[in-house]
Structure 1
Amino acid sequence: MTTQESSSQVVHGLHYATGDAVAVRITDGAITSVSPLQAGEETAGRGKLPWIGPGLVDLQINGFRGKDFNTLPLSSDTVCEVTREVWQEGVTSYFPTVITNGDEAIAQAVRSIAEACRKDPVTAAGIGGIHLEGPFLSPEDGPRGAHDRRFTKAPDWDLFQSWQEAADGKIRIVTLSPEWPGTSAFVEQCAKSGVIVSIGHTAAEPAQIREAVSAGATLSTHFGNGAHLTLPRHPNYLWEQLAEDGLSTCVIADGFHLPSSVLKVVLRTKGRQAMLVSDAVHFSGMEPGDYVSHIGGQVTLTEEGRLHLTGNAKILAGSAQMLPWGISHLVKEELATLADAWEMASIRPAAFVGQPASQGMTAGAPADLVLMDQKDGRFQVQTVYKNGLKVWG
């Protein structure tokens, strides 16, 4: 609900953290105040107001509504389109994710993302950086996941720098496995250059995990996924990442990738270091049905929102749900309060990557806002503001 006053606008809703009916005043793209609704202000009944909170920040999106950052050649126009389309899921900032591929294929993808940012201010404002997921991953079946084994390799600083040059310096996160010789030196160089190193798709020994953290690794990529089906009871690379205080942790909380018991352990262990990602593939945002994936072949997106191989329903074919789904799942399963779940998908990732949006819904913060209705246990995006402009709803 919005009212206009001269150059300012006021948005009404229920504060995501307190449940109070509030008026959020926006001037010149920034929040100037958040105050309780006063007598005489339009309320339309407390129960009818939507929830309002900070815009969602997704550190890992592979594609959306049939558009894939890893189907080459990638057009910069595709990147611009996705940036606008993810608004409908409340995402005001995201990290397009480029996965394991040939050297030139990766260069082409990151080059197109950088080009999109150069030519389109809206895309530049919406993209927080590029997430390079691979190719420095485990070559082993299980940890490798759907990544192409032909292209997995040891970290190579000169090669990475060539991609960074193609990307105009926009690679902000790199996911790797520290099982490769020479990883620590690579991690140190990344940390010195301001690139976040995340551990994922790994078969590393606990000592290698510890060495990577000492060298500057600070994150775990979609913890618990991209792993062997069977692991030693202890020690193993999952326990080690949970135990490392220096690692923040991202999880896919769609209800399919991790059981509630694992999510509960991660949230209790990591506390405010826990964050949500969608890791959404390009089938996200599409209708249920059968599709053909360039990675996994024939896949099925069910009515329940689960994406699996058509020939084997036990094998997931990626994530097809976005951050509001994850927020809904955590709240429905009573794994987190709405305030915590919302912040896991907004303020915490923004703070982790150093974005001003980490100020959340406070005076002086960018007016990146999402209004959501709650229906049948699901939070559904109603309206989205980016830098004070209504961009969806």
Structure 2
Amino acid sequence: MTISGTHYKTGKAIQLQVEDGIIDKVKNLGQESFSNHVCPGFVDLQVNGFMGIDFNSGRLSADEVVSITEHLWHTGVTSYMPTLITNATAHIVQAIEAIVTACERNKLVNASIIGIHLEGPFLSKEDGPRGAHPLEHLKNPDWDLFVKWQELSKNRIKKITLAPELERAIDFIKNSVASGILVSLGHTSASEEQIALAVEAGATMSTHLGNAAHLTLPRHPNYIWSQLSHERLRASIIADGFHLPDSVIKVITKVKPESTILVSDCTKFAGLSAGTYTSHIGGEIELSAEGRLFIKKAPEMLAGSAQSLIWCVNKMIKSHLATVNQAIDMASVKPLEVLGKSAGLEKGKLADLVIFQKEACGIVVLQTYKSGQLVYSKSR
């Protein structure tokens, strides 16, 4: 199979020959270019739900996991992490079982789910850093409990977000890293010293930096400055236009130009029409025509993200916060790097590809290929 398009970085026409899901040959077609561009597939490390389906509902089915995966393909996401937030243990167990079943039944879904992201329950109990995580289910890091979940997942838990100031957190980080799990700091009120200890123990990422924080912070030091200062910490950000102002995004990307990662952190309301909905977190919520999701009785409070990763890519481009190349890399190449994987349009790379057009509204996905298979086409 051959796939042609204009290389998203070089602007030159290329033809990719794909064999067994891998790019086997790359042919440069000279100065000629196509209106259609090709780039690596998007990778979202933080997906709570999509199109009305919630990974954390407590009644997730394997069919719903497949459905979310297919909907994400439509947005150019070829790899992602279902994100399980702080919840009753029974609900976490049920979600893990549904994800495992879906992966075992469907090879392409299994290839698309590059790991489970456990965001909680080992998070701060303080208002602000806690975010919307239910207080009654938060707890200190518990390695024995985690091992049970990991065994249930058949070693599919690949990323965990935790607050490093909690009791036993540093030992938990060391155990996680030794087990090949990415440790990310988030929902934390840690001191500068506690963050330094976490980095020394092996933490390598910050979860949605700038969010899940106190409304007011000391001028300095504080846990946002501290995380920015550590070169070993990559920063994930929600660049949907609502979670962070442009000025903050500019600072983060200037401090970490090669290690800022876009995540959607999307909820089940992503992909739905504007309107009023009911959520188990926040009660009655509103999704505005502009795409902002907020608590209806307290409009100043966000109720999570209702936007896909490509929305964040386009926000970065349209607001001149990044070039097209940079925004795409922050949503494709960079997320895989933090997991020790690689992506690109070179021989030997996995044929996870997006064909897109540049339009006034941003980039528009025309086709998505997962492991060399066409899984979405806009013309259909």
Match of residue 86 from structure 2: 100
1:122 partnered with 2:78: no
**Secondary structure class of the residue paired with 1:359:** coil
TM-score normalised according to structure 1 size: 0.93
Any unmatched runs of 5+ in structure 1? 1-8
Match of residue 195 from structure 2: 209
Cα shift readout 1:158-211 (whole Å, capped 9, x = no counterpart): 011111111111110010001212211111011111111110011111111111
**Secondary structure class of the residue paired with 1:271:** coil
1:388 positional shift: 1.0
- 117, 121, 133: which one aligns with 2:119: 133
1:36 positional shift: 3.0
Match of residue 205 from structure 2: 219
Match of residue 353 from structure 1: 339
Distance 2:118 2:343 in 1: 26
Task: Tell me which amino acid in the other structure corresponds to 1:26.
Answer: V
1:325 partnered with 2:311: yes
Are the counterparts in 2 of residues 253 and 276 from structure 1 also a CA contact under 8 Å?
A: yes
1:38 positional shift: 5.5
1:290 partnered with 2:282: no
1:37 positional shift: 2.6
Match of residue 6 from structure 1: none
Distance 1:333 1:82 in 2: 29
Equivalent residue pairs, number: 377
1:331 positional shift: 1.3
Match of residue 3 from structure 1: none
Stretch deviating more after TM superposition (121-130 or 346-355)? 346-355
- 161, 180, 194: which one aligns with 2:147: 161
Are the counterparts in 2 of residues 144 and 226 from structure 1 also a CA contact under 8 Å?
A: yes
Task: Tell me which amino acid in the other structure corresponds to 1:228.
Answer: H
Stretch deviating more after TM superposition (299-308 or 86-95)? 299-308
Task: Tell me which amino acid in the other structure corresponds to 2:76.
Answer: G
1:15 partnered with 2:1: no
Match of residue 351 from structure 2: 367
**Secondary structure class of the residue paired with 2:374:** strand
Cα shift readout 1:291-342 (whole Å, capped 9, x = no counterpart): 1111111111111111111223221111111111111111112111111110
Match of residue 192 from structure 1: 178
1:261 positional shift: 0.9
1:259 partnered with 2:245: yes
Distance 2:90 2:119 in 1: 15
Are the counterparts in 1 of residues 43 and 80 from structure 2 also a CA contact under 8 Å?
A: yes
Are the counterparts in 1 of residues 49 and 267 from structure 2 also a CA contact under 8 Å?
A: yes
Distance 1:72 1:359 in 2: 34
Task: Tell me which amino acid in the other structure corresponds to 1:237.
Answer: Y
Are the counterparts in 2 of residues 12 and 49 from structure 1 also a CA contact under 8 Å?
A: no
Distance 1:380 1:302 in 2: 22
Distance 2:337 2:366 in 1: 25
Any unmatched runs of 5+ in structure 2? none
Task: Tell me which amino acid in the other structure corresponds to 1:348.
Answer: K
1:24 positional shift: 2.2
Distance 1:129 1:79 in 2: 13
Percent identity between the two aligned chains? 47
Supply the RMSD in Å over aligned alpha carbons: 1.4
Distance 1:165 1:299 in 2: 36
